Structure 1
Amino acid sequence: MGQGQQETVATSLAGAVSEEISASLAPVDAELERRYPGDPGTRQPVHTVYVPGDAFAADTLRSWGDRALAALDEHAPDAASFAAVLGLADDLAEPVYSRVRAKLEREPIEDLRIDFEDGYGPRPDAEEDEAAARAARLVAEAYAQGTAAPYMGIRMKCMEAPVRDRGIRTLDVFLSGLMRAGGLPGGLVLTLPKVTYPEQVTAMARLLEAFEKAHGLEPGRIGFEIQIETSQSILAADGTAAVARMIQAAEGRATGLHYGTFDYSACLGVSAAYQASDHPAADHAKAVMQVAAAGTGVRVSDGSTNVLPVGPTEKVHDAWRLHYGLTRRALARAYYQGWDMHPAHIPTRYAAVFAFYREGFEQAAARLARYANRAGGDVMDEPATAKALSGYLLRGLDCGALDIAEVARLTGLTRADLEGFAAPRRGDLTASAQ
């Protein structure tokens, strides 16, 4: 048969067969779109910093940045000394160190949570009312003045009976204060801790729905994070993955699943000396969280380390190495966010993040450029891989590890191009597997 001969196309099925199948799968199509809308495409902060409600002040963000810079000045005053502590490659030492310092000066905290739960504890009602109202005023002022972190909000008390009313009231005081000051900021984030049953998540959704109706807000305007701190939130009494049910119970309001290192470890009976984010129990919980959240648009966050970089330089360096290693480990496992508990954790958070994106930048850019230009190479990439490559570059851009000029130079792509590859239509990914 000659190469130029036109093929005869034959079919055996009537068009009605395809129509009947499509009609039968229409509910499944709708369910896929509802349950698995994909990543929202918005910026994900690399960390969350928790500050007790009574300690939060107008200068908290700047204070943390200054204290982090002071820790560098005292314990790693130049790129070479910082690189030696963390084991950074020579070609990364200066770029990472200079970017860390610039980040601490420009945007020391990406996500701040004002804590009214464990970090705040039980207080007289009048005192907590006052602190919640004050938090709302300071957050509103920070956004109005352009000094806010990209994301800010509160962690309320949980939905368990002993503290439920207090948690609801604190949330009401805080949100009402924001409305009174001009409205809810775009970077508002709320955290619901110690969730055990999906019904508690539904209760939070009902609470926010009631607030929206009271203020004439668009339905679904307010989302929240679910904090995973109990064994029952991973495996329910009936053997199901409760965390997957919790995402659905949020009715589209869930924005994140945050792993609570120490509460979860204690719940399983892990000894205090071994409570860490790299414990096998932690790996299991986060793996379940990750699978449950995949495709839903809900992001997963790692927990924290309680080993603080304080004291003599030798102890600070030990704590820095631990924190850096845990952060790099989390990034390799696709946990792109974590908790930081002390200003001196911030330098190693950004060092780990910046090194992660910069060391893989050129290879990722080259692969994406070949894919975009349909050029050959030693790796055959598909739309799903292009999605991962562009997502990697976008996260690097968002946190400051990469600059758009250098990304454009190596890929020939604009940010809009990257966003297009990072959020392909469902059909594009399905077709790639055929």
Structure 2
Amino acid sequence: MALTSDDYADLDARLTEHDAYLKSRYPGERPGRQPVHTVYVPADRLDGFRDWGAAALRAMDEFAFPWEEEQIRRKLAEEPIEDLRVDFEDGYGVRDDEQEDAAVRRAARILRDGPLPPFLGLRIKSLEAPTRHRAIRTLDLFLDSYQDTGFVVTLPKVSGPAQVTAMVALLDKLGAPIGFEIQVELPSAILSADGVATVAQLITAAEGRCTGLHYGTYDYSAAAGVAAAYQAMDHPAADYAKAVMQVAAAQTGVRLSDGSTNILPVGSRDDVHGAWQLHHRLVRRSLERGFYQGWDLHPAQLPTRYAATYSFFRDGRDAAETRLRRYVDRQESGIADEPATARALAAYLLRGLDCGALTGAGFSRRELMTFL
């Protein structure tokens, strides 16, 4: 029996609500540049963040950086930090209200007084009961002191959707048209007591205001019971948490960030080279797994951040351009790429252009954008 126009209309009617849900909940990847890292600087040491590039260059010279290249040096001279996070949480610690109030005002003044990285944010304390009021006070005072909404708020140690809902209500109450990042630092942010994948609920509870999910390596590992000596970005517990984050955030416009390594490039030449080798490997590993951003905690980590990132995109550039060209021209090859793969190839090349790894591509930016 042939279907009538009424049959088509009936099916459309049945799926109208679901179509609207898909459009709102899964709008696709957020356009624009994503920073390759977030640098966390304790609020009481913020005045030194503009010296990070020079400090990184000195480390390269002093310890003979093994991936030496001029492009890394230019990056460190011109734009060493892509995303700065003024930290009032773990990096800052617990102070009395008078001290933290003064630190908030001073941080706002430092940010107003000079050039800033392309991306900027503020990490407040968590909304758990012991630190809740201090977190709210810091955010309120920063908004009043800085008087600019060109930043995001990082919300740490989120344990459930109620905290995210409260954050949305708080920002509405403050009249702040800004987004916030959710830090996944507790197992309860991945799997709730009733067996539900909490992280997906966190994104929903944010009502479109969540800009990113940031994995917290050491808080999460400790809460999961991993011994201190084995807490690391590549531990199986970390991989599981990040895999769940990745699935929950896919096509939502919420970006992912891996965590950090606490093995810093300081000390003897052997110590520095060991830390550089580890950081380079971990950054590359994250990129290969679809985490295009991570945390950096020390100026001497910047050279390995850029060395690993640039090599990741350069190593795959020729193959990606060849596959995409064959797809566009409908050429036969040993790989049967589909439209979704073509989008992934274009997104890869765009990321390479955005981060400065690729300074010219076989496809223009406009051509690559047509695939997304």
Could you state the TM-score of these two structures normalised by the residue count of structure 1?
A: 0.83
Q: Does 1:414 align with 2:370?
A: no
Q: Does 1:191 align with 2:154?
A: yes
Offset at 1:272? 0.7
Offset at 1:135? 1.7
Offset at 1:139? 2.2
CA distance in 1, matches of 2:236, 2:264: 22
CA distance in 1, matches of 2:370, 2:232: 37
Do the aligned partners of 1:111 and 1:152 also contact (CA within 8 Å) in 2? yes
Offset at 1:378? 2.8
Work out which of the residue numbers 306, 320, 336 in structure 2 matches 1:364.
Answer: 320
Offset at 1:122? 1.0
The 5 A counterparts of 1:384-403 are 384-403=340-359
Q: 1:7 maps to what in 2? A: none
Work out which of the residue numbers 43, 50, 63 in structure 1 matches 2:33.
Answer: 43
Offset at 1:291? 0.5
Letter of the structure 1 residue corresponding to residue 368 of structure 2: L
Letter of the structure 2 residue corresponding to residue 98 of structure 1: E
Offset at 1:140? 3.1
Residue 44 of structure 2 aligns to a residue whose secondary structure is coil
* Deviations 1:384-430 (CA, angstroms, capped at 9, x unpaired): 11111111111111111111xx30xxx2x321221221x2xxxxxxx
Q: 2:89 maps to what in 1? A: 117
Letter of the structure 1 residue corresponding to residue 366 of structure 2: A
Letter of the structure 1 residue corresponding to residue 52 of structure 2: W
Do the aligned partners of 1:190 and 1:224 also contact (CA within 8 Å) in 2? yes
* Deviations 1:48-67 (CA, angstroms, capped at 9, x unpaired): 1100011001x513x11011
CA distance in 1, matches of 2:350, 2:185: 30
Q: 2:184 maps to what in 1? A: 228
Do the aligned partners of 1:202 and 1:249 also contact (CA within 8 Å) in 2? yes
Do the aligned partners of 1:354 and 1:401 also contact (CA within 8 Å) in 2? yes
Residue 401 of structure 1 aligns to a residue whose secondary structure is coil
CA distance in 1, matches of 2:351, 2:78: 18
The 5 A counterparts of 1:122-133 are 122-133=94-105
Q: 2:246 maps to what in 1? A: 290
Q: 2:9 maps to what in 1? A: 19
Offset at 1:269? 1.2
Offset at 1:175? 1.5
Q: Does 1:76 align with 2:59?
A: no
CA distance in 1, matches of 2:2, 2:207: 44
Residue 262 of structure 1 aligns to a residue whose secondary structure is helix
Letter of the structure 1 residue corresponding to residue 122 of structure 2: I
Q: 1:60 maps to what in 2? A: 49
Letter of the structure 2 residue corresponding to residue 67 of structure 1: A
Letter of the structure 2 residue corresponding to residue 50 of structure 1: Y
Do the aligned partners of 1:139 and 1:152 also contact (CA within 8 Å) in 2? no
CA distance in 1, matches of 2:108, 2:14: 50
Offset at 1:210? 1.4
Letter of the structure 1 residue corresponding to residue 207 of structure 2: E
Do the aligned partners of 1:116 and 1:154 also contact (CA within 8 Å) in 2? yes
Letter of the structure 2 residue corresponding to residue 65 of structure 1: G
Residue 227 of structure 1 aligns to a residue whose secondary structure is strand
Do the aligned partners of 1:40 and 1:297 also contact (CA within 8 Å) in 2? yes
CA distance in 2, matches of 1:373, 1:203: 51
Work out which of the residue numbers 27, 31, 52 in structure 1 matches 2:21.
Answer: 31
Work out which of the residue numbers 195, 201, 209 in structure 2 matches 1:239.
Answer: 195
Q: Does 1:172 align with 2:140?
A: yes
Offset at 1:98? 1.8
Give 1 or 2 for the bigger CA radius of gyration. Answer: 1
Letter of the structure 1 residue corresponding to residue 145 of structure 2: G
CA distance in 2, matches of 1:239, 1:328: 32
Residue 112 of structure 1 aligns to a residue whose secondary structure is strand
Work out which of the residue numbers 117, 141, 153 in structure 2 matches 1:149.
Answer: 117
Gaps of 5+ in 2: none
Q: Structure 1 382/141 Cα, relative in aligned 2: closer, same or farther at 3 Å?
A: farther
Offset at 1:379? 2.0
Letter of the structure 1 residue corresponding to residue 57 of structure 2: L
CA distance in 2, matches of 1:198, 1:139: 32
Offset at 1:148? 1.0
CA distance in 2, matches of 1:30, 1:40: 18
User: What is the CA RMSD across the aligned residues, in angstroms?
Assistant: 1.3
Identical pairs, percent? 57
CA distance in 1, matches of 2:113, 2:353: 27
Letter of the structure 2 residue corresponding to residue 307 of structure 1: I
CA distance in 2, matches of 1:130, 1:100: 36
CA distance in 2, matches of 1:345, 1:331: 16
Residue 54 of structure 1 aligns to a residue whose secondary structure is helix
Offset at 1:45? 0.8
Do the aligned partners of 1:340 and 1:346 also contact (CA within 8 Å) in 2? yes
CA distance in 2, matches of 1:102, 1:349: 14
* Deviations 1:81-109 (CA, angstroms, capped at 9, x unpaired): x14xxxxxxxxxx7xx2221111111101
* Deviations 1:282-322 (CA, angstroms, capped at 9, x unpaired): 00000010001111111111110000111111111111111
CA distance in 2, matches of 1:290, 1:271: 25
**For this pair of structures, how many residues does the alignment match?**
372
Residue 159 of structure 1 aligns to a residue whose secondary structure is coil
Q: Does 1:108 align with 2:60?
A: no
Letter of the structure 2 residue corresponding to residue 184 of structure 1: T
Gaps of 5+ in 1: 1-10, 84-93, 424-434
CA distance in 1, matches of 2:192, 2:146: 36
CA distance in 2, matches of 1:199, 1:356: 39
